[in-house]
Structure 1
């Protein structure tokens, strides 16, 4: 069974309500034509407005949308999660997401779901969380490294073009070896991993890009990668 993770720098229904190209792309990777897709709004504190925007957008698409709130969880979380075709994780505070998932054992449940073939997807905090490390704004006033779940190797930085502090922070932390080499994505760009390997990069915006960042001889080398535009 192939494993899939689709990590977005930004975009989708929560940032581009009139441009659902990335959301449609995620749905198209499912094994069924009418997939069950579950939204995890943990990083936003399960904000009602965020959940409503997800349901409103995905009800216009061919799928069966639902959501999982850890503040009002179902009777048994694991069967509910394992019954989904896609898990879609929203943005917000990555540190809070990691803490709550660990407390509820949701990180282990999601790992089992991933190995079972459930597609894991998300943007911002919902992108960072799958990697070994990420760059987060969870701490007030700064971009900081954070240790994540490690389903995917390396580090990840979202919003690479959307927040001007992102690029210099990523370069800084790579140079002092606070984070591992990894991938950055502009808003509107999705990194599609299959069996742990980056197989495809797609975009809902014409001029958005992905970036591979490596450290060589003490210097950060950033390679720009043009994605496949979905429009």
Structure 2
């Protein structure tokens, strides 16, 4: 099973006192102590960004690491990545990727190229399916707030 969880913003960097999205991501590995690797390339390997990553994930049940593409730890990047359970790519813009727009604090969780669920660290987070048919159409999608118990 291959998974992608695309955040529209939020997580340890934007919401350091709200761990809901990052906790959700860790839980999806189904491992007690997953290996999570941060790729901060979009920020130019910002020291501040990496420090915040380690500040949060060092206190979680996981093994955090990072991959600098400016100064890679190995020439065999494929092996380095494949030994990780979670790849957390920083920066970039997930809005409108695959026709989905998401508020900050909202994550779209894909399993095998299909949307599995959409979750939010904020009670009123929203996501939309966006299409163009002579005009822009937005269809609001169901979003589960992670602060509630099933």
TM normalised by structure 1 equals 0.61
Query: Which segments of structure 1 move beyond 4 Å, counting only runs of 4 or more?
Result: none
Deviating more after overlay: 64-73 vs 183-192: 64-73
1:209 is the counterpart of 2:126: yes
The runs of 5 or more residues in structure 2 that have no matched partner are none
Q: Is the 8 A contact 1:208 1:226 kept in 2?
A: no
- Tell me, in whole angstroms, the C-alpha distance in 2 between the residues paired with 1:193 and 1:71: 29
Q: 1:224 aligns with which of 134, 137, 140?
A: 140
SS of the counterpart of 2:109? strand
- Distance across 2 between alignment mates of 1:30 and 1:87: 11
Greater share of helix = 1
**Equivalent residue, structure 2, for 1:148:** none
1:192 equivalent among 93, 109, 119: 109
Aligned residues: 146
Query: Aligned partners of 1:193 and 1:18: how far apart in 2?
Result: 25
Instruction: Check the 8 A contact 1:211/1:224 in 2, yes or no.
Output: yes
1:3 positional shift: 1.0
Aligned-pair CA distance for 1:225: 2.0
Q: Distance in 2 between matches of 1:221 and 1:72?
A: 43
Matched, 1:61 2:63: no
Distance 2:130 2:50 in 1: 34
CA separation in 1, counterparts of 2:142 and 2:30? 27
Structure 1: which 5+ runs fail to align? 92-124, 129-134, 136-154, 157-180
For 1:24, the equivalent position in structure 2 comes to 23
Equivalent position SS for 2:52: helix
Report the aligned-residue RMSD: 1.4
Greater relative contact order (Cα < 8 A, sep 6+)? 2
Counterpart of 1:95 in structure 2 is: none
TM-score, normalising length from structure 2? Answer: 0.92
Deviations 1:109-164 (A, max 9, x none): xxxxxxxxxxxxxxxx1x63xxxxxx6xxxxxxxxxxxxxxxxxxx42xxxxxxxx
TM-superposed CA distance for 1:74, in Å, is 1.2
